[in-house]
Amino acid sequence: MNSLKSRSQCGWEELAELTDKAEALEARYTRLYDALGAEVSERYNRLYARFSRERGVLHTDLERLQDEVASELEELDVDLPGVPEGEIGDEIEERDWLYDSERSFLEQTQHLRREQGKE
């Protein structure tokens, strides 16, 4: 029984030792990650500020161009030709259309199958 208790005690001590080492390792790398994060954040903020300045110039140019186009469109006067009208002949009434709403469902289905070459 003493042997089990002593092995158990050794296990707890070893676990505590590993926990301490893991916490020390985490603390060491956390400092490095924090320092790196601050540096990256600072670089990102500088880059974003530069991007925003350049984007602002483009945005101003775009607004000016939109105003010019809108102004030109307001002054645009186009004479469009009349809408052509189709010619309807007598042969239209005699055509065998693929769909005819006057056919029953069965007649329409049979006609479609004939057109597809299935009958």
pTM as predicted: 0.37
The confidence band for 67, taking pLDDT boundaries of 50, 70 and 90, is very high
Distance CA 69, CA 51 (A): 27
113 vs 119: CA distance, rounded Å: 6
- Start-to-end C-alpha separation, the chain: 92
What is the reported pLDDT for 69?
93
CA distance 34 to 67: 48
- Which residues have a Cβ under 8 Å from the Cβ of 61 and sit 6 or more positions away? none
Higher pLDDT, residue 33 or 89: 33
Give the Cα separation of 43 and 72 in Å (integer): 44
- CA triple 59-64-65, angle to 5 deg: 95
Q: Which of 44-48, 66-70, 89-93, 108-112 has the lowest mean pLDDT?
A: 89-93
Q: Domain-by-domain residue ranges, the chain?
A: 7-75
From CA 102, how far away is CA 64, in angstroms rounded? 59
Tens of pLDDT along 4-63?
Answer: 566 667 778 888 999 999 999 999 888 888 888 888 888 899 999 999 999 999 999 999
